[in-house]
């Protein structure tokens, strides 16, 4: 997604992922995070993906939401040109994960990604939030909070992906 985002805003991927603090780049970077967030990534996952602190991702996304609310010209313009990227991630999130190479690895040559898919109706109560527990002999029906979704009607999937070097091939 970063590649498409980068093309649309006209700022190189490396700049978006960098720590540069010019206003234009900061805005693009934080809008990119908002798009990731709206695509189902948690604050923690976005922080990990971008080598940032959870708190700075939280603050940045809050800042962008605030600027969109007051219709800041620059931020609204970039967001309107890139928000369709949210939609495409959502449809992927519903069923399939497309693996793309992560751009940031830690010093040990490893990268970790976490995806949270939070759109599934509970299969036990079929999205009702409660289940019927009365038997045929009971005079009164009894409903009980669904033990699977705990009344939230939804279940989520947390998918963790660990990237590392391939096995080293030994010479024959």
Single out the residue of 11, 17, 49, 122 in contact with Zn ion (rule: CB under 5 A).
Answer: 122
Nearer to Zn ion, 105 or 120 (CB): 120
Regarding 28 and contact with Zn ion (CB under 5 A), the answer is no
Binding segment toward Zn ion, per CB under 5 A, in 76-84, 99-107, 109-117, 125-133: 125-133
**Sign for the pseudo-dihedral over CA of 32, 38, 41, 44:** positive
- Spatial separation of the C-alpha atoms in residues 88 and 39, rounded to whole Å: 8
Strand partners, 154: 121
Task: CB nearer to Zn ion: give 81 or 154.
Answer: 154
Q: Does 133 bind Zn ion (CB under 5 A)?
A: no
Three-state DSSP state, 53: coil
Q: How far apart are CA 162 and CA 172, in angstroms?
A: 29
Contact (CB, 8 A) for 86 and 39: yes
Q: Are 133 and 142 in contact (CB under 8 A)?
A: yes
**Residues 143-162 interacting with Zn ion (rule: CB under 5 A):** 146, 148-149
- Footprint of Zn ion on residues 42-101 (CB under 5 A)? none
Nearest-approach distance from CB 113 to Zn ion, in angstroms: 28
Which residue lies nearer to Zn ion by CB, 110 or 150? 150
Q: How many residues bind Zn ion (CB under 5 A)?
A: 6
The single residue among 81, 119, 124, 156 that binds Zn ion, judged by CB under 5 A, is 124
Nearest approach in angstroms of CB 121 to Zn ion is: 8
Place of tokens 């708190």: 55
Of 69-77, 78-86, 92-100, 117-125: span binding Zn ion (CB under 5 A): 117-125
Per CB under 5 A, does 35 bind Zn ion? no
Q: Are 36 and 50 in contact (CB under 8 A)?
A: no
Tell me the longest C-alpha to C-alpha distance in the chain: 76
- Are 124 and 132 a contacting pair, CB within 8 Å? no
Contact positions vs Zn ion (CB under 5 A): 122, 124-125, 146, 148-149
């Amino acid at each position: 997604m970063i590649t498409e985002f980068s093309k649309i805003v006209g700022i190189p991927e490396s700049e978006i992922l960098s720590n540069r603090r010019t206003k234009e780049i900061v805005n693009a970077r934080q809008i990119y995070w908002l798009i990731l967030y709206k695509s189902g990534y948690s604050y923690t996952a976005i922080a990990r993906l971008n080598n940032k602190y959870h708190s700075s991702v939280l603050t940045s996304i809050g800042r962008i939401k605030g600027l969109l609310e007051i219709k800041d010209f620059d931020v609204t313009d970039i967001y309107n040109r890139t928000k369709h990227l949210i939609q495409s991630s959502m449809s992927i999130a519903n069923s399939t994960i497309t693996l793309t190479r992560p751009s940031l690895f830690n010093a040990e040559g490893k990268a970790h990604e976490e995806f949270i898919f939070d759109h599934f109706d509970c299969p036990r109560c079929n999205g009702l939030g409660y289940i019927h527990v009365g038997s045929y002999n009971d005079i009164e029906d009894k409903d009980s909070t669904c033990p699977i979704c705990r009344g939230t009607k939804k279940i989520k999937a947390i998918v963790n992906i660990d990237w590392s070097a391939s096995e080293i091939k030994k010479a024959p």
